[in-house]
Amino acid sequence: MRRLIQRRIFVGLLIVLQLVFLLYTVLSTSGRYRIINWFLSAISLGVALYIISRREKAAYRMTWIFQILVFPLFGGLFYLLFRFQSSTRRFRKGLARVSKRVKPLRQKSEDSLPKVPERYQPLARYLQNYADFPVYEGNRTRYLTPGEEMWHCLLEQLQKAERYIFLEYFILAEGEMWDSVLGILKKKAAQGVEVRLIYDDLGCFLLLPQNYPETLEKMGIHCCVFNPFRPILSALQNNRDHRKIAVIDGKAAITGGINLADEYINAFDKYGHWKDAAILVEGEAAWSMAVMFLEMWSFCRKTTEDLERFRPIPERVGDELIQPYADSPLDSENVGEHVYLHIINSAKDYLYINSPYLIVDDSMVSALILAAKSGVDVRIVTPHRWDKRLVHITTRSYYRELVKGGVRVYEYSKGFLHSKTFVSDDAIATVGTTNMDFRSLYLHFECGVCVYDTPTVAAVKEDYLKTLENCQEMTPELCQCGRLTRLFQDILRLFAPLM
């Protein structure tokens, strides 16, 4: 623990020193030489014009322009330093090469598309034709909530492994949950089952020692650390692996909001009762999630192994239509956002949403309000107890506008709600890892599962309505706040893309 803390402090100090050195160099130099001052101002002006011309989210452009206005000397310089880095380009190109190689592993089944409810076929076609995530039939799913249920299901599935176990998680922390999982992984590895684990370095920055992969390798568990955190100012550090995936033999898979740490199963009281959700997928659709893992593994390890050897024999275990999907911040498709917008725009009767954060751009806000004004019963549940104070204050800044537009907003008063679910019209639901915030929608690697006309849709709805019993509705009166608080919220909204 001492070494863990010392390393984190050392990394933090190095980053702070880089920032101080950059600021000192710019300010001291520009103070002595007027021509350098003009030069830096010209760079900021040029960068500002470049940002305005870019086809990206208006909120991101506004954030950078605001920073350049406030810091006209080094605002543009910092943008150039932050955005144009060879390491980021190499990262993007490397992932693109791997994605191209694994693309054929996802077999497209055009025959499954017509079986999707008609109004959701545009979403299914988008995910299949542009994001390369096909619809699979002959599956079975089970909605898992809270985290304790997912934990027991995970242990049960791990015990069944005969060929391989793939685990990919944002957070991994030693404790009751991880210890129980690790015990099975060691046993399975000793039996000849291939066990692979990916965890995000920043997600585990304060939780695991630097040499933890070596510790796991000695147990027979192959381990990769995604995007190791380095004390260098880099845009690359924004791109984190926020996925939660467990795949067993390519026949069963689990995803959702639940990491492998004790607070997720309420073995540790961190913010009151932890309300979370996941989904178990059994059948051919589980292979799609295995491919997601193998793509990330190949990228991290830089391997070109034969991935077809992991494909299981197709087996029909049910009659459910399932469409797993993943999202990468390094391509041109905001898959998670598009899934959410499709569901919002297709809703006719009701739309129920769970999200721990609510920090979205104007297009998402407009879509939610338009649905509510069109007669759809739109409800959103966020947590009352927060894990990040400024993020929670920013989330609350959206309440006034949404409630005024007819959206019903609730806060989960029993503790912390971490579920990421959409359910609509008894016909579609999605359970996954994508929060309704800028970081999750545009900067992180995420994943989820769309289910069409299945019993799981009803289960997600039933759980949502049950959750409302432990929620407080945010009425127009409760959304009111003082002028200073409102001003502070408006300022935070300017930096929402950075949260």
Q: Which residues are catalytic?
A: 242, 244, 249, 418, 420, 425
Can you tell me the distance from the alpha carbon of 253 to that of 322, in angstroms, rounded to the nearest whole number?
12
Can you tell me the distance from the alpha carbon of 234 to that of 237, in angstroms, rounded to the nearest whole number?
6
Placement of tokens 């999200």 in the chain = 355
Can you tell me the distance from the alpha carbon of 245 to that of 448, in angstroms, rounded to the nearest whole number?
9
Burial of 432 from C-beta contacts in 10 A (0-12 / 13-18 / 19+): buried
CB atoms within 10 A of CB 319: 12
Residues 141/280, Cβ–Cβ less than 8 Å = yes
Could you tell me which residues are beta bridge partners of residue 165?
A: 195, 248
Residues 252/281, Cβ–Cβ less than 8 Å = yes
DSSP 3-state of 99: helix
Give the pairing type, strands 273-275 and 415-417: parallel
Alpha carbon 112 to its chain's center: 27
Hey, CA dihedral for 155, 159, 160, 164, is it positive or negative?
positive
DSSP 3-state of 105: helix
